[in-house]
Amino acid sequence: MDLASVVKWFMPKEEKFRGLLALDTQNLLRATRSFSEVAGLDGSLEGRRAGAAELKAAEHEGDRITRQIFEALNSSFITPFDREDLRSLAMDLDDIVDYIEDTGQYLVLFELAESQPALRDFAAILVGLAEQIDTATGLVWNMANQKPTQDCIVRVSELENQADALYNRVTAELFTQNGREPTDILKWKVVYDGLEAACDQCKKYSNVLGNVLIKYA
């Protein structure tokens, strides 16, 4: 092996990780958009079953990409960012998609065909979060993009705050509005718990990106 080959082997495999994370954030976008379609269906359990199948496919794809990122971490001597940061980014993306997929499954398993306004609002917030995450992840590799990357991170925080307020409001409504069966209340509570957890995980992902900016600024 000549010197150039040795140097190339030791150089950070930026393109590899950049490409894998791009695939991962695009998969997150796919999952949130599929969930948004599911959330908008009113009175159609069949439609929600089809949407849940799409979410399951996105979840499987996310698992596949996560394994590839871990394999790349294990096989790379030097990485473009700290290994733990890259590992956290991959795990956070995987968790977000898992929460969204689980929630889609609960809508079907609990036979919840209603398209509640809060459900649609949560779906819209998640799409917005995924768009910001996808943009920020594409920008973070170049420190000249620090300002627009930070702008995306701030927007994620704003959207997550909206999700918190929405969660508090809809939870209160579930337990104060008359006419709902107790089992119905509990079913919807599980759904909104999952959506809140997905939004929280998006914020966690953006915090890791923020740490990367600080470390490599």
Q: How many CB atoms lie under 10 A from the CB of residue 133?
A: 28
Residue 183's nearest CA partner among 111, 128, 84 is: 111
Give residue 217's pLDDT. 72
Classify domain 12-216 by CATH architecture: Up-down Bundle (1.20)
pLDDT at 13: 53
Residues 210 and 149: their CA atoms lie apart, in Å, by: 8
Assign 65 a pLDDT band (cuts: 50, 70, 90): very high
- pLDDT of residue 158 exceeding 50, the answer is yes
Distance CA 75, CA 78 (A): 9
Domain positions in the chain: 12-216
Q: What percent of the residues of the chain are helix, what percent strand, and what percent coil, each to the nearest 5?
A: 85, 0, 15
The residue written with tokens 């957890």 in the block is 197
- Residue range 110-123: average pLDDT? 95
pLDDT-derived band at 20 (thresholds 50, 70, 90) equals: very high
